[in-house]
Chains A and B, each alone.
With several copies, the nearest count.
Chain A
Amino acid sequence: MKKLINSIDHVVDEALDGMVLAFPQYLVRVPDTHVLARAVPKAQGKVGIVSGGGSGHEPAHGGYVGYGMLDAAVAGEVFTSPTPDQVLAGIKAADHGGGVLLVVKNYTGDVMNFDIAREMAEAEGIQTGTVTVNDDVAVEDSLYTSGRRGIAGTVFVHKVAGALAELGASLEEVAAGANAVIANVASMGFALEPCTVPAAGKPTFELAGDEMEMGIGIHGEPGTHRMKVEAASELTRHLFVKIAADLELVAGTRVVAMVNGMGATPLLELAVMANELGRLAAAEGLALEQVFLGEFMTSLEMAGASLTLLRVDERRLELIGSSCDTPALRQGVKFG
């Protein structure tokens, strides 16, 4: 295992300090925690947004702290959900009297740790709400299991919830907007190469030279099945078909897309995938309103990509496209 780190035990701590060093205009670290909060807190009375999860998904989640998105991001150890005391610290940092929305990805660990934190926060008199993102269509949904996972679609939830909060919406309104995103977003990904969790020291799975994993999550887990590597056109189609079926997309549907790299896939290749997406959308008659292309929700140095589609109406498209200013996503530059 070759990693640009000093020690397994300090990688998250040092990385958080590194983020603050690089983005002091956006981020402060809540002392003695793994919480990154806004350097310039939003106005009193507005709803705060907290997200988080294990580390290793950078730029998620600290990269989305700033105007128009999150108020605080809570970082666990690599691929391990943060503990309730850390989440509570995030909630407190994000609380400006208007209540706090927790954006949680649907993993048992995340759900339970955020739940415990929420109980603690409510006990301290902070009004909270939770939305649970479960956009991964690779996984069968069922009432009897843990349901679907939350993956890259989470970024769209951050964006819309953050935009609404900035506009002064109430906690209920912000949660409703976030849940509307969740109801209209679907994602799926694959891996060409695995990643190595520093503490584990070896790849989470092994692939032959012509093999890949389809339907992976964002924690280095194996996917739904192993298959031979295919061309970008085939792989993109595979994801697109599953997602389009899940969202019941028809000709004329307006969508926003995200082509997301898992960590080690060059932007050159992600752009090839975006091009394929464009072809597929055109063939289906979809209105591709905005395409996010880059690394938004990664799995350390995993090679691979995920595709996310979000069905939008005029209002949701506006919220997706509105100004935001964070380390990882900035929109609405003023010229001159």
Chain B
Amino acid sequence: MDEAEFCRLWHLFQEVIDGNKEYLNSLDAAIGDADHGTNMARGMEKAVAACDQPEGGLRVTAKAIAMAMLSTVGGASGALWGSGLLKFAAAIPEAVACSDREFAGAVDAFVSSIRDRGKANLGDKTMVDVFLPARDRLIAGVEAGEALPAIAEVLAEATAAWALETKDLIALKGRAAYLGERSRGHVDPGAFSSSLWFLSLSRALAERSG
């Protein structure tokens, strides 16, 4: 993955978050406080600005995006995305491009950070329900020598399904956990927005291969 693709990913993510802002808010209204779309959209607006002035290198760009999200998203998602991306930045090479394995390693660092900070397990009805299996599939695919665009295409579809599967769960972490049994029957907003990140990844890479 090179810097252009990386930035394209974030631009596409910004667009799809913006397009789904109201929907994400409505998901959050059902089991939270109706701000997840607003939070993510506010953060992405700043994040892509960081992307517009790449100061050279994936790490610098990733760190700029991390700081932008950390200082604008707020809420649970802001802390998780922001601090997670800081770990992502630390793990990704400084160079203007990286190998698929290096990218997978950075995603792994991101997911570990989210788990350390948020303490959520698989099935707790959070973004972890998307990121954890996605990370595993990503690493497995890279290990097996699949091309990143192909893995991303699989993940775009799989994460969408995993996000929707959170609907049947009872939330055990985050604000939705306070609803207990009442949290069942609604898709987790953070899981859904996370699946959009993989959708954006697949689109960014499809443009390359296409």
B118 touches A112 (CB 8 A): yes
Q: Is the Cβ of A145 less than 8 Å from the Cβ of B173? A: yes
Interface residues on A, range: 35 or more
Give the contacts of B28-87 with A (CB-CB under 8 A).
Answer: 29-35, 38-39, 42, 70-80, 82-83
Interface flag for B25 (CB, 8 Å): yes
Stretch of A60-68, A76-84, A176-184, A247-255 with 4 or more beta carbons under 8 angstroms from chain B = A76-84
Q: Known A144-B172, A145-B173, A146-B174; judge A113-B34 contact (CB<8 A).
A: no
Q: Are B25 and A199 in contact (CB under 8 A)?
A: yes
Closest residue to A197 on the B side, CB-wise? B34
Closest to B34 in A: A200
Residues of the A chain whose Cβ atoms lie less than 8 Å from the Cβ of B172: 144-146
The reply to whether B25 and A200 contact each other, CB–CB distance below 8 Å, is: yes
Is A158 part of the binding interface, using a Cβ–Cβ cutoff of 8 Å? no
- Interface check A99, CB cutoff 8 A: no
Interface string of A197-209 (1 = CB under 8 A from B): 1011000110000
Which chain B positions have C-beta within 8 A of A217?
175, 178
A199 touches B80 (CB 8 A): no
0/1 per residue, A141-183, Cβ < 8 Å to B? 0001110010000000000000000000000000000000000
What string of 1s and 0s marks CB contacts (under 8 Å) between A283-310 and chain B? 0000000000000000000000000000
* With known contacts A116-B79, A200-B38, A204-B29, A83–B71 Cβ distance under 8 A: yes
Nearest A residue to B74 by beta-carbon distance? Answer: A80
The A-B contact count (CB < 8 A) is 124
Q: Is B180 an interface residue (CB 8 A)?
A: yes
Is B74 in contact with A83, judged by CB distance below 8 angstroms?
A: yes
Central interface residue in B73, B79, B182, by most chain A CB within 10 Å: B79
* B74 CB contact (under 8 Å) in A77, A115, A138: A77
Minimum Cβ distance to chain B for residue A74 (Å) = 11
Known A108-B173, A109-B75: A219·B33 in contact at CB below 8 Å: yes
A83's partner among B35, B78, B118, B174 (CB-CB below 8 A) is B78
Task: Report yes or no: B79 in contact with A199, Cβ–Cβ below 8 A.
Answer: no
Number of interface residues of B (CB under 8 A): 35
- Interface contact B33-A220, CB-CB below 8 Å: yes
Q: Are A109 and B29 in contact (CB under 8 A)?
A: no
The interface centre, meaning the residue of B32, B75, B175 with most chain A CB atoms within 10 A of its CB, is: B75
Answer whether A108 and B34 are a contact pair too, CB < 8 Å, given A82-B74, A83-B70, A116-B83: no
In the complex, whether B177 has a CB less than 8 A from a CB of chain A is yes
Which residue numbers of B lie inside 8 Å of A, CB to CB?
A: 25, 29-35, 38-39, 42, 70-80, 82-83, 117-118, 172-175, 177-180, 182
Chain A residues packing against B (C-beta within 8 Å): 54, 76-86, 107-109, 112-113, 115-116, 136, 138-140, 144-146, 149, 197, 199-200, 204-205, 217, 219-222, 224-225
Beyond known contacts A84-B79, A115-B117: 7 more, CB 8 A cutoff:
A80-B74, A80-B78, A146-B173, A200-B34, A200-B35, A219-B175, A224-B182
